[in-house]
Amino acid sequence: MGFTALVSVSDKTGLIDFSRRLAKCGADFVSTGGTARVLRESGLPVRDVSTVTGFPEMLEGRVKTMHPRVHAGILALREKEDHMSALARHDIHPIDLVVVNLYKFEEAVAKGLPLERVLEEIDIGGPSLVRAAAKNFPHVTVVTDPTQYERVAAAYESGSVDFALRQRLAAEAFAHTARYDTIIDQYFRHHVLSDDFPPSLNLSFTKVQDLRYGENSHQAAAFYAGKPTQEPSIVNGKQLHGKELSYNNIVDADTALEAVKDFDRPSCVIIKHATPCGMASAATASDAFRLAFACDTYSPFGGVIAFNREVDEETAEAIGDLFLEVIVAPSFSAAALERLMRKKNLRLVEVRGLQTRGRWGGLQYRSVVGGLVVQERDILEPNIKNWKVVTRREPTSMELRSMLFAFKAVRHVRSNSVVFVKEEHTVAIGGGQTARVDATRIAVQKGGDRIRGSVMASDAFFPFRDGVDEAAAAGVAAIVQPGGSIRDDEVIKSADEHGLAMVFTGQRCFRH
């Protein structure tokens, strides 16, 4: 069977093999610029699109396919006599197959090219061809991605491209152009308008993988990635060992990474059910793990651990037989891998770049039924120069150091939350409570004697003095909190009565 195929692709992966298979099925190729050259060099007969339009490519290739003789050949409804008569009257041949993928705009943006170069990567004719072919899918097959080549070639080799396949390809084509336009919109929104919260918000995500299930086994789920980022994240992690990551693994790993990125020294964060149960910085990764684990020795069972330094053999030995779901680190030594991979189900994920602390801004999205709430990520660095001592007793230099660690730690615990810290490791964590005093009581109960002499951090102000009284009774030495309550005087009075040092940061860090 003979058919006309219009081929114009930016990504030429697999093109020659695909075109040769089509040629054996009777394809008459019409093409443009570099695509036509590649086809000719491979020995395939091809007509330039200018032989169809009767008009040369112009403006350095900016205008090639935008012509009635091309679009009429794609859009004509074959069952309508007047459509086919119009084609015949103007000597226009129907186009049956459109193979188009678009200029590499996303790559140009990722390379940081200047505006004038980025503009040249905005495809105009390509999306028009794709949309025209997709609109007329009952008669035209549209191919927008090399991953579709096998399906389409096999269909032509079988004798026909059935309606169901053309319809599916059309749906994929509209998704392709929608994503392309969304990426352009995001570029102009961020780089030209500097508007993170526009009247209309367009987002684009690409599926990384289907997941076995969601939070529970009766919920379907998938993992998607947004625009490429160089910031260390679970999205650009490389799994080295273990079962596929689950929905909960991904959420917990993200929480662990966000926390461990807050610390400069070798650090370890242990996460259970999307909240920390131990955090520590120390001289080595193994010491950091031991200190983090000591904070709560029973909650880490089935948890997720993140390190900001390589996991070496000593660290792997310190982890020992502890049952974990995931370990995330910038690298694993060969000896550590050999030891940890004895646990066949333990997921080991390498996330490069964690050694260099830092975040790159951006937005957070949270779904509600029927919509989203959007906010900037909470990456504001604490500035000790702006902290205010509000008690008679000043904190010691060690207490200030612990306060800084505690402040960074508490903002990763679900609100209402408090943490108790000695030097640079948590000794107790209380979070996820509707009353701050309850969070304090939980932490005190877990910390026991380890609370004595520690520093306490709260993610928001104390609405009453009861939380301070509870902490003081357990032996806390100093408190860091945002301040700002109408009862601040009462809270400060409690701290003074107990001989505590208290600092106001002026910076709340709720985490729901």
What are the φ/ψ torsions at residue 7 (nearest 5 degrees)?
Answer: -120, 125
Instruction: Catalytic residue, from 12, 71, 104, 135: name it.
Output: 135
Distances in whole angstroms, Cα of residue 187 to Cα of each of 201, 202, 235, 276, 509: 13, 11, 21, 35, 30
Contacts of residue 212, defined as CB under 8 A and 6 or more positions apart, other chains included, come to 221, 244, 246
Of 12, 104, 273, 493, the active-site residue reads 273
Annotation marks residue 135 as catalytic: yes
Rounded distance, CA 112 to CA 130, Å?
A: 27
Please give the full DSSP string across 155-203, using - where no structure is assigned.
HHHHT---HHHHHHHHHHHHHHHHHHHHHHHHHIIIIIS--SS-SS---
For residue 72, CA distances in Å to 24, 65, 314 come to 26, 11, 70
Interatomic CA distance for residues 1 and 24, integer angstroms: 10
Residue 190 annotated as catalytic: no
User: How many angstroms separate the CA atoms of 118 and 107, rounded?
Assistant: 9
Count of CB atoms within 10 A of residue 36's CB?
20
CA nearest neighbour of 262 among 386, 431, 377, 433: 377
> DSSP states of 325-353 as a string?
EEEEES-B-HHHHHHHTTSTT-EEEE-TT
**Angle CA(208)–CA(211)–CA(216) in degrees, nearest 5?**
145
Pull the structure tokens for residue 263. 């610390």
Residues in the chain: 512
What is the set of active-site residues? 135, 273
